[in-house]
A and B are shown apart, each in its own frame.
Chain A
Amino acid sequence: MEAFTTHTGKAVPLRRSNVDTDQIIPAVWLKQVSRTGFEKGLFAAWREDPAFVLNDPSYEGASILVSGPDFGTGSSREHAVWALQQYGFRVVIAARFGDIFRNNSTKMGLLPVVLPAEKVEALQAAVEADPTLAVTVDLAERQVRWAGEVVAFEIDDYTRWRLMEGLDDIGLTLRHADEVTAYENGRQPWLPTTV
Chain B
Amino acid sequence: MGRTLAEKVWEQHVVRRADGEPDLLYIDLHLIHEVTSPQAFDGLRLAGRPVRRPELTIATEDHNVPTVLGPISDPVSKTQVETLRKNAAEFGIRLHPMGDAGQGVVHIIGPQFGLTQPGMTIVCGDSHTSTHGAFGGIAFGIGTSEVEHVLATQTLPAYRPKTMAIEVSGELPPGVTAKDLILAIIAKIGTGGGQGYIIEYRGEAVRKLSMEGRMTVCNMSIEAGARAGMIAPDETTFAYLKDRPHAPRGEAWDQAVAYWTSLRTDDDAVFDQVVEIDATTLTPYVTWGTNPGQGLPLGETVPAPESFADPVARQSAERALEYMGLTAGTPLREIEVDTVFVGSCTNGRLEDLRAAAEILRGRQVKTRTLIVPGSMLVKLQAEQEGLDEVFKAAGAEWREAGCSMCLGMNPDTLQPGERSASTSNRNFEGRQGKGGRTHLVSPQVAAATAVTGRLTAPADL
Contacts and interface: CB of A to CB of B under 8 A. Distances in A.
B426 A170 contact: no
A26 B148 CA distance: 23
A194 B115 contact: yes
B434 A23 contact: no
A148 interface: no
Contacts of A172: 157
Among B29, B153, B248, chain A packs the most CB atoms within 10 A around the CB of B153
B434 A26 contact: yes
A96 B408 CA distance: 27
Given A20-B291, A190-B252, A31 B145 contact: no
Among B120, B313, B429, chain A packs the most CB atoms within 10 A around the CB of B429
Interface residues of A, number: 61
A150 interface: no
Nearest to B52: A180
Contacts of A107: 143, 145-146
Contacts of B148: 170
Interface string A100-119: 10011001100000000100
A70 B74 CA distance: 33
Contact of A23 (B226, B227, B313, B428): B428
Nearest to A156: B159
A81 B143 contact: yes
Interface string A147-166: 00000000011100000000
B312 A180 contact: no
A18 interface: yes
Contacts of A69: 192, 312
B42 interface: yes
Nearest to B127: A76
A76 B192 contact: no
B188 interface: no
Contact of A103 (B146, B253, B316): B146
B191 A18 contact: yes
A195 B55 contact: yes
A179 B153 contact: no
B15 A170 contact: no
A129 interface: no
B220 to A, nearest CB: 11
A174 B129 CA distance: 25
B208 interface: no
B56 interface: yes
B192 to A, nearest CB: 5
Nearest to A104: B143
A31 B235 CA distance: 41
Among B225, B312, B407, chain A packs the most CB atoms within 10 A around the CB of B312
Closest 10 A/B residue pairs (Cβ): A78-B143, A104-B143, A107-B145, A190-B248, A76-B141, A33-B38, A192-B246, A76-B127, A190-B252, A78-B144
Interface of B: 15-16, 20-22, 24, 26, 28-29, 35-36, 38-39, 42, 47, 49, 52, 55-58, 63-64, 74, 76-77, 79-80, 83, 93-94, 114-115, 117, 120, 125-127, 129, 140-146, 148-149, 152-155, 157, 159, 161, 191-192, 195-196, 222-223, 225-227, 246-248, 252-253, 255-256, 259, 290-291, 312-313, 315-316, 319, 407-409, 426, 428-431, 434
